Each structure stands twice: as C-alpha cells, then as structure tokens.
Amino acid sequence: MNIVVNVSDARVSKDPEDTLVTYSLGSCIAVVAYDPISRCGGLLHYQLPTSTLDASRAQANPCMFADTGMKHLLQELQNTGANKTRLKVKLAGGAEMFDDKGVFSIGKRNHTAIRKILWQHGLLLSSEQVGGSEPRTLYLHLADGSTIIKSRGETIPL
C-alpha cells in the first residue's frame, strides 16, 4: 500500500507491503531511514532548517523543521522497533527552485541543517541526491529498504 507523506509530515511503517512516498520535493528535504534487520522504515519531509525560526509552529508541527522533525522520526522509528545504530539514512531534495539567493538558498540551508543533525546523532549517509533545480518524488519500499527518485521523467535508484 502507498502511504503518502505530505509536506511537514513523517510516516513510519514495518509492513513489507507498504511504500512510503512523498511528492514535489523542491527546496524541502526528505529523509528516509531504514533498519534492514527489523525492516522498519520512515520518511520525513521537512521545509525549514531550524525550529528556532518559529518555536510555536514547531510545537504544533514538529515535522516542519529539520531538528524537531528528525527527533520525531527517530522516536517513531524506535517505537516501531528500529535500532538507531542500524539505520541506513538517505536524503533527497534541497533544490533551488525559485530562489535567487544562490549560496544562501533555503535548499542549501535545509541540507546543512540535516547533515549536522545526522552527524550529532552519529549517523552517516548511505546516499543522497540533493541540489539542482527540479522537483523530485521519493519512494521508500519497506520490503527491502530500496529507495527510488523520480525527477524530470527519469527514475533513479537512491
């Protein structure tokens, strides 16, 4: 079953029949994390780098921000039986869409934020596809943890 993860949202599953999918990744970043032993996986789609930008919004919707969103995702994964030290983590998104800020783009800041959080948690990336200027759709298949990106009519494994 396809489980859609919306903007500022996160979902977790351990049903091998499930696929987590998130659409229209522009400057947002999607984080997928999968434990190959327990076969638990999760997907977070966040918009902004840090909850200090808007603490009350972070309270209402932690998945809007990289820091509170990642904390939520890791908690949900652990509640479902995942072991943090076994997680395979991948990223997609962080594009510069209609952003003329160049080196200061929100996509780049989103990317830097999640990389710092993962480093603090002791997690290295298995792979990532970030940057560019095209939107992406991301699929995580819970059966085996495989991840697919669709962008510009192409399908690319991540």
Partner 1 sequence: MSHRILIVDDSATTRGLIKRALQLSGLEVAEFYEAGHGKEALEQLALHPVDLVLADLHMPVMNGVELTHAILSNPVTAHIPVAIISAEPCTNRLLELRRAGVKGYVRKPCTPEMLRNLVAPLLETTHV
Partner 2 sequence: MSDTYTDLLLECLVEALQTFAFVAAEPPQGPVPAPAAADLYTLRFQGADSGELQLAAPRAFGCLMAANMLGLEPADAEAAERAQDVIKELCNIITGLWLSRRATVYVPEMGLPSASALPDWDRFAALPGSFTILAEGFPLAARIEETP
Q: CB nearer to partner 2: give 9 or 54.
A: 54
Does 63 qualify as catalytic in the annotation? Answer: no
Determine the residue type at 87.
L
Encoding tokens for residue 113?
């934020």
Q: Does 119 bind partner 1 (CB under 8 A)?
A: yes
Q: Residue 84 binds which entry of partner 2, partner 1, none, with Cβ cut-offs from 5 to 8 Å by kind?
A: none
Give the CA dihedral 91, 42, 9, 132, nearest 10 degrees.
10
Q: How many CB atoms lie within 10 A of CB 122?
A: 8
Catalytic entry in 20, 28, 66, 114: 28
Q: Residue 104 binds which entry of partner 2, partner 1, none, with Cβ cut-offs from 5 to 8 Å by kind?
A: partner 2
Q: Which phi and psi angles does 146 have, rounded to 5°?
A: -70, 145
CB of 110 to partner 2, least distance (A): 9
Among 56, 98, 124, 152, binds partner 1 (CB under 8 A): 124
Task: Identify the H or E element spanning 55.
Answer: helix 55-60
> Known catalytic residues?
28
